[in-house]
Structure 1
Amino acid sequence: VYVPPVTVISGPDTVSTFMKSYSLQVKVFHIDTEKAHDAAETIVDALLADRQIIQMMSEDGEVLDDYVRIKRVETRMIDQGVAAIVLTWDSSYWYNRDKQASLEDINFSDGVIKREQD
């Protein structure tokens, strides 16, 4: 198995957030293409059985409280004895915001300005 760096595409999401779409192509090697594809499908089936959730781990192998939910999974035969698993997921991030003073007292009226009685 070979895991290359992730490909990232960024763009707007909502009025408050932007989105990053991640794509990861994991290569699976075997003695022939069909066996590589079968091995890739076995890995994908295990991922799907866990509701497409991948638990994050530290570089030391410690399980973290964070996870990634995979949006799309596909397998491809890409070369002799090589199959690929393509994983895609999205994450949203908040835009930076200027700090604003909070409103302490708000008085709402019916919207009609009333003149004092003579």
Structure 2
Amino acid sequence: MISEDWAARAAGLVRDGRLDLFVAVAGSKPVGYAAVTYDVGTWNAATYAHLDCLYVVGDYRGVGTGRRLFGAVVQHSRDLGHSELQWQTPAWNDGAIRFYRRLSPAEQAKQRFTLDLDRQ
């Protein structure tokens, strides 16, 4: 279940134009979602869209749900004037890696770091 605090924070980010959410629905049941944020690349001084998360419920994988969500993110990002969409997935997530490779993106090896600022 989504907490009220999370929902309020997410709604604020959507209002501020920092987050867009896409939800796939079958009947009246949510079966997947994608979340995209917007960032700036200092190398080229340009904004880009960042696919923060794409998730599809197990029974709805492999039937085009993820591809349709991804397509909606791509089109929306283009409509906003972004020329690039970036994303990442954990190295252990073989299913996601296969899915993304079928989309023919350019792959970039990176090491991701996270610093918990509340504990520093």
Decide which structure has the larger Cα Rg and report it. 1
Greater relative contact order (CA < 8 Å, ≥ 6 in sequence): 1
Calculate the TM-score normalised by the size of structure 2. 0.25
Calculate the TM-score normalised by the size of structure 1. 0.25
